[in-house]
Amino acid sequence: MFAGLRASAGASAPVDTKTPSTQPNNTQPVSDSQSPSVPPSDSPVEADPSAEPSGFVQTTLAELGKVVWPTRSQLFSESVAVILMVGLSAAAIAAVDRFYGWTAIQVFR
């Protein structure tokens, strides 16, 4: 399998071209007709309906309709969990701050 590969000191190893590559070949050039950013010159350019304010509002409302909103009990329990974690984090940071403050006073007295 590696018969064609040989590394020498100070030089790069030759590439074995007989073995098929396991990497996909994505280096093919894109022609003008395949380019997604430039529309062909003979086709009309379609206007984006969300570019106008009314289209934007309609698109936004359609997307909001797809959202799965939490129930009241889920909202309450997750809010309590967030408030508790913020409180515990604040208490831990305050404890470390007071400890370092006390240590600094003891050292630099």
Range(s) of the domain holding residue 108: 72-109
Residue 29 lies in a domain: no
Total domains in the chain come to: 1
17: its two tokens: 């071209």
Query: What pLDDT does 95 receive?
Result: 98
Residue 86 lies in a domain: yes
Instruction: Looking at 5-71, list the stretches that DSSP marks H as alpha helix, in order from N- to C-terminal side.
Output: 53-65
Query: What pLDDT does 51 receive?
Result: 73
Residue 99 lies in a domain: yes
Q: What is the pTM of this model?
A: 0.43
Residues 26-81: tens digit of each pLDDT: 556 555 555 556 555 565 656 676 677 788 899 999 999 999 999 999 999 999 99
Residue 82 lies in a domain: yes
Q: Which of 3-7, 18-22, 24-28, 54-58 has the highest mean pLDDT?
A: 54-58
Residue 16 lies in a domain: no
Query: What pLDDT does 20 receive?
Result: 56
79: its two tokens: 């809010």
Query: What pLDDT does 19 receive?
Result: 58
Secondary structure class of 73 (helix, strand, coil): helix
- Greater confidence (106 vs 23) lies with 106
Residue 14 lies in a domain: no
Enclosing H/E stretch for 98: helix 72-107
Residue 84 lies in a domain: yes
Residue 51 and residue 31: Cα distance in Å, rounded? 28
- CB contact at 8 A, 25 and 17: no
pLDDT at 85 over 80: yes
Query: What pLDDT does 53 receive?
Result: 79
Residue 18 lies in a domain: no
